[in-house]
Chain A
Amino acid sequence: MDFSLNKEQTMIKDAVERLMHRHYTFAQRDTYARGAAGWSEAMWQRYSEVGLLGLFDSDVGGPVEAMIVMEAFGHSLVLEPFLAAVLLCGRAVQRAGGGSHAELLQDIAAGRLLMAFAHTEPSSRYELSRVATRATCKDRRWILSGAKSAIMHGDCARRLLVSARVAGEPADPSGIGLFLIDAGSAGVRRTGYTTQDGLRAADLVLDRVEVVAADVLGPPGAMFPLIQELADVAIAATAAEAVGAMQALHDMTVAYLKTRRQFGVAIGTFQALQHRCVDMLVELEQARSMALYAAMMASEPDARSRSAAMSAVKVQITKSSRYVAQQAIQLHGGIGMTTEYAASHYFLRLMAMQARFGDGAHHLNALASIDGREVLPAA
């Protein structure tokens, strides 16, 4: 058991934190958010220059590296599509694409290609195997029809990684395939929008979209394990992001309590507020522990153990972030409600995270469905 970072990990941490410090103040972020894309192309190139966009590659970095980056990104409320394009799509292509997609991976790492993972559907909610979008094979081509929703950064992605059912009933884990489509293909109708936390997303309607054989990832019909793996990667990443955001919000709240004066004294001298602040810290530390647990369990080969662990992570992260965010607003008072002050933006990010990759209730339900004296894998 060892909690320390190695030399390479420390270098990544320093590099990301330096980037955030120079280029991601709250005011700079606001400028990026107001741009047409909703994020900064210049930042994207900087991430590429320091090697972050290659982090899907297990030779470049594993879950600990992803955790380091996501925590720093959460701390600055980063807007760029790192999770969607790199950690999810990069990984999916690398794991399932074989040699034929090497060029795609190079393009992702170089910052030339944006991809998005189009999996959730209007009626799938958090159920990973509920895929109603259909893929039928005809003359060695696949024809995709259906609808996808809330695709993170789906608005700007040039290529989309789409899950579709080649066989079975809507909730069967078997019979799901993964297909690469161009966002501009005939039959693709895309609606982009901004989410509550300032990120961009898209809904998609696919009407007989053609996919050539070369753009099918892995054996169609057997891709559910990879989808599950991606969801677990996403939960681990989100956990780290939440910890970064909670830390920033907690620091902000402590600083506010020290400076804000009422009744002639700093409000931080009031014990009721001090204790609330400590309870926020307890929740934050519990969340941090689970983000570490997530980084450890993300490479667990046994899918059931891994997913159970990630469910536990999401349960804790949801609980902690809800408490920390709500109390941060409460302790700030009116100023916490305004959009000109950073706290509200952290609140929005922490809220939005809860509805991605399954909320606390969903994952608690998943854990409660497991039999045994313990539902989590032994360490």
Chain B
Amino acid sequence: MDLRYSPEEQEFRGEVREFFRSVLPREIRDKVALGRLPSRDDIVRWQRILNARGWAVTQWAPEWGGTGWDTVRQYIFREEMYLADAPEPLSTNVTLVGPVVIAFGNEQQKRHFLPRIANVDMFFCQGFSEPEAGSDLAALRTRAVRDGDQYIVTGQKLWTSYAHQADWMFCLVRTDESARKQDGISYLLIDMASKGVTVKPVMTLDGGHHVNEVFLNDVQVPVTNRIGEENRGWHYAKFLLGNERILTGRIGLSKSRLRRARDLAARVPAGGSTLAASHAFREKAAALEVELKALEITTLRVLDEVRRQTGTAQDPKISILKIKGSELAQATAELLLEVAGPHALPRQEDWASGADVACIGPEWAATAAPNYLYLRAATIFGGSSEIQRNIVAKNILGI
């Protein structure tokens, strides 16, 4: 047993760090460093830079562009990405739809979609949740009725991130009303430019436009855009959610937020000195660092187990990473909010969303509130913490 990174792994870390340092466009880095949202153009531009290096879809099978790195290298890559203030590769494309197409798509679909997904020639959003299907996702009601070589899709999706920016949506639809609810669902890829697709913004707590309602009104979808078998979509989605949860820990991002809180606290006056000198602040920051260290090791342990035993992302321990990782994301954002103090008060969602407008007050403080507010959703999306606890109770405890 040796938990230290090997010299080769450290060398790899150096290589990745240098790569990010040299190719990440400054204006994108500055936005991310300040906690502002990268624009659609920023996301596409960055992913194409990664793709040109062969690093956009590191976790995919090597024949489709993956790097073949082991879990430790994948982890190092992600961590360095967050520490470099680089945006993530587009998660809907890279983490969510890509692996499903690789695992369950046919050859033609793979050849058509995968290179476009990797290069964000197709920008995907996820059409899963509905007004009546949140945590109980399998209760979804959007209907797809077969009509020759087309499906006619009708229904409503909700909380659809990126729908206002996306060209495509991967979507769960009901294709069999009579089966058990999990066994009547199919997985479709829908062109957002199709007739009958309407996107309406839903504004969230932070004032930002992250999520949408998507109305599907007799949308024609070619049957060739169905991934895998009809009525097996639920099982593909479950596979996919495991992928999502491994990464929702986002420890590197929380680490970087904590580092930022400590840096900024040194500039904030408090009690005749600075906030960084206050013992209460220092204890809070230290306690978070301890929990992040523990979660980092827990993550590497789970990744190691996933690799050795099952080779899939179905391990229920992944739920533990989601529970703890989302809580620490919230806690680090909360610490930053406290550091910002009264500077967090101006409501300026345009600036936080990356718009070219003047910032009220110091820039370093302007995103503290929006990030804190948006991250209240971290324990809700991707399977709420309560759903994760149900999963663990059922699978690990056997209750």
Which residues of A come within 8 Å of B, CB atoms?
A: 1-6, 9, 64, 254, 257-258, 266, 268-269, 271, 274-275, 277-279, 281-282, 285-290, 292-293, 295-296, 312, 315-316, 364-365, 367-370, 373-376, 379
Contacts and interface: CB of A to CB of B under 8 A. Distances in A.
A37 B366 CA distance: 65
Nearest to A5: B1
B259 A1 contact: no
Nearest to B319: A278
A334 to B, nearest CB: 21
B259 A373 contact: yes
B1 A275 contact: no
Given A279-B389, A368-B279, A368-B282, A316 B291 contact: yes
Main DSSP-derived SS at the A contact region? helix
A363 B9 CA distance: 31
A2 B389 CA distance: 29
A3 B301 contact: yes
A278 B389 contact: yes
A78 B389 CA distance: 33
Contacts, number: 135
A289 B291 contact: no
Given A282-B324, A286-B295, A364 B287 contact: yes
B267 to A, nearest CB: 14
B84 to A, nearest CB: 15
Size bin of chain B's contact surface: 35 or more
Nearest to A289: B297
Main DSSP-derived SS at the B contact region? helix
B247 to A, nearest CB: 18
A281 B320 contact: yes
Nearest to A372: B262
Contact of A312 (B293, B295, B304): B293
A157 B296 CA distance: 41
B14 to A, nearest CB: 13
Contact of A293 (B3, B5, B287): B3
A374 B289 contact: yes
Nearest to A267: B399
Contacts of A275: 386, 389, 393
Contacts of B262: 373
Contact of B283 (A1, A64, A289, A364): A364
A9 B263 CA distance: 43
Nearest to A257: B399
B223 interface: no
B110 interface: no
A28 to B, nearest CB: 28
Nearest to A270: B399
Contacts of A266: 399
